Chains A and B, each alone.
Chain A
Amino acid sequence: MSKGQLLSFEAFVSLLIVLVFSFLAVNLYNTFPRDDLKYEDFELSLSYALLKMDETGFLDKIALESNWEMLYSLIVEFLPNCKVRLEVYDQKLSIIYFKGHCNKVFKVVCYVFVSNQLSTIYGIKVYIGE
C-alpha cells in the first residue's frame, strides 16, 4: 500500500464484494413476492362470477335496466377485502358507467357480453387492487 492511500486494492475489492452482496440481499428481500395467492384467487373467482351472471341472465337484466350500480354493489360484496373499480363500455368503446377507485391495481378482469334483449355488446372491466 503506497503512502497516503487509505485502502489497499484487496481491501477495496473485499469492500466492493460486501457492498454488492448486501445490495443483492436487500433487493431480493424487497422484491420477494408477498402478494401470494390472494389476487390470483380474486381474479379467478370474479372471472367465473361474471360468467355465471351472464349464463343466468343476470347481466342481461342489469343491461336492460341500465342498473350498473347493482353490478358494482355485487362486485364489492363479492370481493370485500380489496378495492375495486368498475368500468362499463358500450360497443363504441365509450365508457357508459364507472365507479370506484384503486390506488394500486393488481389485477384487471375484462369480460365482454352480448345482451340478447338489447342486441348490444358491452365490455366490463374490473380493476382489483388496494
Chain B
Amino acid sequence: MSRGVSIGIDMLFASVITLFALVFAMMSSSIISSSSFNALTRINEQSIAIRVIESLCLSPGIPADWEKNISVTKRLGLALTDGALYVLSKRKVEIFFRNFTMGQISSLLGLPNGTYILKFMLKPIFSTESDILELECDEIEGGFTSSRLVVIDGSLFIFRVYVKKVS
C-alpha cells in the first residue's frame, strides 16, 4: 500500500462486494420469505383439501352407521360401509348436506375451529343448476379445490371440496 492511501485495493474490493451482498440479501430476503410463506399456505390448503375429500369419499365414518343417529357421530365419512372406492351412501350425503353445520363438519373432520374456510359441492355430471347440492359458510375466493368423481346409487357425481386458510 503506497503512502497516503488509507485502504488497499483488496480491502476496497472486499468492501464493495460485501456491500453488494448485503443489499442483495436484504432485497431478496423479503421476496423469498413472502413467496415461501405463500407456497407453504398453498401447500397447507391443498393437503387439507385432499385429506378432507379422501376421508369423506373413502371412509364410512365412525361409527360406520352414523346416519342412523347423527348425535353419536365421531368422525365423518360418506362412503358405503362395505362399498367400493368412491362409492357414497345417498343417505349419508343427504344428511351431510342438510343436517350438519360447517362448525360441526370441521370438528368431525378433525380440523381446528376457525382455521379454514370450507365449501362442499356435489353435482351430477351434465346436470342443471337445480340438482347441485352446496354447503358453505362464506363465499370463498382463492384457496384450493379438490374434486373426485363419485358414484351414488349408480349415478356419477362430481364432489368438490374448497379449502381456504383463514389469514
How many chain B residues have a CB neighbour from A under 8 Å?
34
A102 at the A/B interface (Cβ < 8 Å)? no
Chain B residues in the interface with A (C-beta under 8 A)? 9-10, 13-14, 17, 21, 24, 28, 32, 35, 39, 42-43, 46-47, 49-50, 84-86, 125-126, 144-151, 154-156, 158
Partner of B156, one of A1, A7, A53, A73: A53
A78 touches B149 (CB 8 A): yes
Report if A41-B146 is in contact (Cβ < 8 Å); known contacts: A6-B9, A11-B10: yes
Mostly helix, strand, loop or mixed at chain A's interface? Answer: helix
Partner of B14, one of A11, A22, A70, A74: A11
Distance of A38 Cα from B120 Cα, bound (Å): 18
Q: In chain A between 6 and 28, which residues have their CB closer than 8 angstroms to a CB of chain B?
A: 6-8, 10-11, 14-15, 18, 22
B46 touches A74 (CB 8 A): no
A37 touches B43 (CB 8 A): yes
| A11-B10, A53-B156 given; 18 more Cβ-contact pairs under 8 Å | A8-B10, A11-B14, A18-B21, A37-B43, A37-B46, A41-B46, A41-B49, A41-B50, A45-B147, A45-B148, A48-B149, A49-B148, A49-B149, A52-B151, A53-B149, A55-B84, A74-B125, A80-B145
